Amino acid sequence: MRIDLNSDVGESYGAWVMGQDEALIPMVTSVNIACGSHAGDPTIMARTVALAAEHGATVGAHPGYPDREGFGRRDISLSTEQLEVSILYQLGALYAFCRDADVRLRHVKPHGALYNRAARDTAVARAVARAVRRFDSSLTLVGLAGSALLDAGRAEGLRVAAEAFADRAYEPDGTLRSRRHADAVLPDPESAAEQAVSIVVLGRAVAANGSNVDIRADTLCIHGDTPGAPEYARAVRNALQAAGVELAPLHHDE
């Protein structure tokens, strides 16, 4: 058994600090770095790419809706053309820092409301996939397991990776429980570790209503803005390894 453990990072902006990237990044095998739209800025992007390289974490882009005030978690109305060029713009920004640091950009994972919208909205999913293909068809597109985004990526000839979440509650249909609910984020590192092992070893999670949800995942996420994210990541990492699961980035064999 093998799984990639990823986290959304680089989400600070100027003097505003989000997350504990220096403690979190050493715990994961890949990172998704904010590209300056929902969060992040040039200095943060450069520092986060360097930090990932220092700890051997594979680097991916984490583009979101242009919505700093809402942290990219509000559904923004954009045409498919506007969405495509926005994603191209964000990928280009992060790529500049990867190239400067001699770090390869390997994957793309949308953020927040864009991620959730692309999971169910075929037109949005196709726009995201087209943008990734237009930028670099060798990139892997990461999306919610079983989602429309993965179907769109395959249709564009992209490699895709199905993602599950260690720190988020699920609905019976396999979607993530809305953050409007108080129990959307699992309450402690132990709960996240238990869910991570269940997903990777058993191929299922327990939904918020107590039912089982079948999940097949290539990568497992810990949100960088979850309070205590490094502790969550450490607990998940230790539990997976204790269960005999190898932690390796998506492209470990290249």
Counting every residue, how long is the chain?
A: 254
Give the torsion sign (CA, 119, 125, 129, 132). Answer: negative
Burial class (CB in 10 A: 0-12, 13-18, 19+), 123: middle
For residues 141 and 124, give the distance between their C-alpha atoms in angstroms, rounded to a whole number: 14
pTM of the model: 0.95
Asked whether the CA dihedral 10, 49, 66, 68 is positive or negative, the reply is positive
Which H/E stretch holds residue 58? strand 58-62
Query: 94 is written with which tokens?
Result: 């992060």
∠ CA 104-72-28, rounded to 5°: 40
Q: Rounded CA gap, 15 and 120, in Å? A: 35
Please name the residue that has the structure tokens 């583009």.
63
* Cβ pair 34, 91 in contact under 8 A: no
Cα–Cα distance measured from residue 11 to residue 13, given in angstroms and rounded to the nearest whole number: 7
Mind listing the pLDDT tens digit for each residue in 208-236? 999 999 999 999 999 999 999 999 999 99
Segments of the chain scoring below 50 in pLDDT: none
Q: What is the pLDDT of residue 100?
A: 98
Q: pLDDT per residue over 193-211, tens digit each?
A: 999 999 999 999 999 999 9
From CA 242, how far away is CA 223, in angstroms rounded? 22
Burial (Cβ within 10 Å: 0-12, 13-18, ≥19) of residue 223: buried
Q: What is the pLDDT of residue 251?
A: 75
